[in-house]
Structure 1
Amino acid sequence: MSTLERVVHKEFEGMKIREFLKFHMGLSSRLIRGASIDKRIFVNDVAVKMNYVLKDNDKIVINLAKKESQNIEPEKIDLDIVYEDKDIIVINKRPNMVVHPTKRYQSGTLANGLLYYFKETGQDCIVRLVSRLDMDTSGLIIVAKNQYAHMELSKEMQENNVEKRYLAVVHGHLENSEGTIDLPIYRPEEEGTIRRVIDERGQRSITHYKVVERLKDADVVECLLETGRTHQIRVHLKALGHPIYGDTLYGYEDDNKYMKRQALHAYGLDFKSPRTKEELSLRANLPEDIQELLKALK
């Protein structure tokens, strides 16, 4: 059973448990309300109401497990699990996989595979996505196993405390071997379009880049995101005049000689564990199709 536990120090004696949970444990009002209704908040092994007044040395235990379901069919899919603990699981998503079911893709998604994995391993979890990737972008995705972990990591994402590193293979050689792209990204108001453009009406978007390998007529570029806009790396690299190989949306329409997707891989994540606050530094190897592209371009 996944729980949060605290022992009350004398300085908090006389405080109502609701205030303690919110202001000293940092829990959201939604989490507190739901756990209270389900009688999952205990003091000294007894379920309590939120007007309970704390005493010195009280032991608070919050059961994070709750009965939940998703309208997603579990499906046996091979998953590349890079890291897992009782709060999170990090998957190295393969190329050409949708993260969550849509009208067009009802099966074969990462969420289908995760629900099957949770069921097979006896974990009563639903899929709470902390991060996402485009269908054709491979790499690391964080999934929370409970409401607390999702709340903590979503807050870290909003405050840009999760370091996201990507590798991209681009056409040509960049003029500068490293730098920062600070250009606003805007979604045109055109029905049905998913394409983004550089436009002063857009949101400020910042990508730090560094060339890590020069090939014959291509560069391997590491990108560190400071903001997380849709298609940010693809739009920014196109703006420099160096679109990503295989990116027919932002590059060349017939650019599929070597790659059937954009050569973009989310290879690195650095963040703190939501529970222990331990620094996690996770890495994922390049997928086979990008490795083959690099061989062809050398």
Structure 2
Amino acid sequence: MHTSSFSISVPAQTAGKTVEEALRSEWKFGKKQIHAWRMNKAIDLNGTLTEWRTVLSPGDLLTIRLEEEEKPSYLPDPIDLSILYEDEHLLIANKPPHIDTHPNQPDASGTLANGVVHYLRQKGKTGYAQPIHRLDRDTTGTIIFAKHAAVKPLLDHALEQRSIKRTYWAHVHGDVSHSNGTIDQPIGNDRHHNSRKRISPTGQKAITHFRKIQFNQNQQTSWLELQLDTGRTHQIRVHLSSIGHPLAGDTLYGGKKTIHFPFQALHAVKISFTHPFTAQNIVIETPDPVKPGRFYKQTRK
């Protein structure tokens, strides 16, 4: 086993709480995890093993030692990365097109996650890197990775509670008639096509909000900004196709490839959330994919 650690600088709003209170109520660690740290004497305060009833002050440094397997989360693979944000606990990468978020088999490589593991190993880290959410193979943009096992469940919970907000840009065929709107249609499996989803009365609830940015007369496409209340597989692709405006380049759901849209024109342009340890509001934007095509060289009006 390989021992690693991470640190939390106590913010002002956490001051006055005991170590145990902060772990439980402020940072939302699970009871099982807290108990394990107590038994293993795994937490130091300002470099010294401390009593769990010690009251915290602003700027105190809690260091928590973790037991992690030596092997990384995935096989390391030296893939070019665009890192948008990084701290001791997490990083946000800008995913390029034509690459999966993570491998489906333990011994596979060539995905964004493999590249993040390689990047972290090069920095002397254990190689723990777990994506908190995913994007389809040809969708580009922001993805959060947990850098240690303790922060992952906190980020998972934030995603489940929809406190991690994601904004997308899409280019769709045709002139969308409304300046904004909401698509509220349940999504289920397509019995006739294993890789497709479809609108289904018995499917899972799915809600997509959109705002029209502009219409391109020459390309006959509309540029939309979207936000989701739910996170169903292929949600944006299914919903936009259902209203007669499939994503440009998305042949699976009725779109067509063109010189401007050689693959599905969907980009996760912004992500925002409250940092689980610092309580800072993190807002990360990436107006262009890693390898921007002509369809993203427009400027917002």
TM-score by length of 1: 0.83
Q: Secondary structure at the match of 1:2?
A: strand
2:7 is matched by which residue type in structure 1?
T
Matched AA of 1:228: G
Quote the sequence identity (%). Answer: 32
Task: In structure 2, give the amino acid aligned to 1:224.
Answer: Q
Paired with 2:15 and 2:269, the residues of 1 have a C-alpha distance of: 42
Cα distance change, pair 270–18 in 1 and its aligned pair in 2 (3 A) = closer
Out of 139, 142, 146, the position equivalent to 2:141 is 139
Alignment correspondent of 1:3: 7
Quote the residue 1:96 is aligned against.
Answer: 98
Partner of 2:67: 66
Aligned to 1:219: 222
Q: Letter of the aligned partner of 1:243 in structure 2?
A: P
Residues 189 and 70 of structure 1: CA distance in aligned 2, closer, same or farther (over 3 Å): farther
CA distance in 1, matches of 2:208, 2:296: 23
Contact 1:4 1:64 in 2 (8 A): no
Matched position secondary structure for 2:272: strand
Measure how far apart 1:211 and its partner are: 0.9
Aligned-residue offset at 1:177: 1.4
SS at 1:224's partner residue? strand
Q: Distance in 1 between matches of 2:72 and 2:229?
A: 32
Aligned pair partner of 2:188 in 179, 186, 211: 186
Equivalent in 223, 247, 251 of residue 250 of structure 2: 247
Which residue identity is paired with 1:153?
L
Whether 1:28 and 2:27 are equivalent positions in the alignment is no
Structure 1 residues 149 and 57, CA gap change in structure 2 (3 angstroms): closer
> Which deviates further from its counterpart, 60-69 or 89-98?
60-69
User: What residue is the counterpart of 1:177 in the other structure?
Assistant: 179
- Provide the rounded CA distance (Å) in 1 between the counterparts of 2:15 and 2:225: 47
- Per-residue CA deviations over 1:34-79 (Å, capped at 9, x if unaligned) read 434543134786658xxx7736679894515433334622111110
Say which SS state the counterpart of residue 35 (structure 1) adopts: helix
Alpha carbons of structure 1 residues 94 and 34: separation in structure 2 relative to 1, 3 Å: farther
Long gaps (5+) in structure 2: none
> Alignment partner of 2:279: what SS?
coil
C-alpha contact 2:171 2:221 (8 A) present in aligned 1? yes
Say if 1:80 and 1:93, in contact at 8 Å, map to a contact too.
Answer: yes
Distance 1:281 1:9, change over 3 A: closer
Structure 1 residue runs without a partner (length 5+): none
**RMSD after superposition:** 3.1
Matched length:
286
- 3-state secondary structure, aligned to 2:67: coil
Q: Which residue does 1:231 correspond to in 2?
A: 234
Q: C-alpha distance in 2, partners of 1:140/1:207?
A: 18
